[in-house]
Amino acid sequence: MDFTHFNKDGKAYMVDVSEKNKTKREATAFGKVKVSKEIISKLVNNQMKKGEVLGVARVAGIMGMKKTSEIIPMCHPIFISGCEIKFEIKEEECEIHIYSTAKTVGETGVEMEALTGVNVAALTIYDMCKSVDKRMIISDIHLLNKSGGKSGDFKF
């Protein structure tokens, strides 16, 4: 497959999607934050000094999805028709699992928006918990699935 973000002269450019058909598109991404037992305990018991960590991270992830085209140079600004951030606290593993889903009806997909949502939510968790322990690990960020568009469906 050829790289699509280079013109005939080899220069970077934003792909022209004006001739593409609008289709319903959806993407879900995943990531996790490995934290200490102390952080898990404080999260579960709502004892973090900075407030409700996952609530703030949820809003931050949604905001990140909406701002994706402002921070990823070749992403098109797209209308997000729906988005959601979900968390699973895995107490035994001391992990917070993050699921980010973005939806649109348009000419281009929302994979980057879903991935950005996971990243921003994870970074927000880090920011709000770093006073307790800075040894958190953000990892495993990847696209779980996507549907719609010319390339069809994808499942990791």
- Per-residue burial over 113-138, b = 16 or more CB atoms within 10 Å of its CB, e = otherwise: bbbbbbbbbbbbbbebbeebeeebeb
- Catalytic residue from among 2, 9, 16, 127: 127
CA 77 to chain centre: 16
Strands 95-106 and 23-34: antiparallel
Strands, DSSP E only, in 2-129? 23-34, 82-90, 95-106
Residue 127 annotated to the active site? yes
Cα distances (Å, whole numbers) of residue 141 to 10, 13, 46, 155, 156: 30, 26, 26, 14, 12
Catalytic positions, written as ranges: 127
